[in-house]
Amino acid sequence: MPRTLVFLALCALATSTTAAAVSAERQTELRDLVHQDCGACHGMRLTGGLGPALTSQALQGKSHDFLFVTISEGRPGTPMPPWRTQLTEQEINWIVDYLKTPEESP
């Protein structure tokens, strides 16, 4: 099987397991966190404020990995804090997927 197909299959598997690894109850909590905590700097509708917009349209050119590292490690020299001590990798992956999915994005 060509490497590209294997890579795509692994990416699909990783994405599907992310949702499964985060319970429905925790997903609700994470949605609230995005709108309340992230919204404090990125605007209550996440259309921008102190920080840039976090709508799916605004994030189109950003890779999953870039957004994961930004949430996990923060952005040095900016007010963006690291969230790695408050969120698991699965939760950060879920947030990235949530923000990048047009029908889910605020």
What's the pLDDT at 103? Answer: 72
Q: What is the DSSP string of 39-70?
A: HHHH-TTSS-SSSPP-STTTTTTS-HHHHHHH
Looking at the 3D structure of the chain, how many domains does it have?
Answer: 1
| CA R_g for the chain | 14
Q: Read off the DSSP letter of residue 2.
A: -
> Which has the closest alpha carbon to 94: 83, 40, 51?
83
**pTM score of the predicted model:** 0.78
Query: Which ranges of the chain have pLDDT less than 70?
Result: 1-20, 104-106
Structural domain of 16: 3-100
- Calculate the CA dihedral of residues 25, 43, 64, 20 and round it to 10 degrees: 10
Does 28 map to a domain?
Answer: yes
CA angle 51, 57, 62 (to 5 degrees): 70
Does 105 map to a domain?
Answer: no
CATH code assigned at 54: 1.10.760.10
Does 106 map to a domain?
Answer: no
Does 48 map to a domain?
Answer: yes
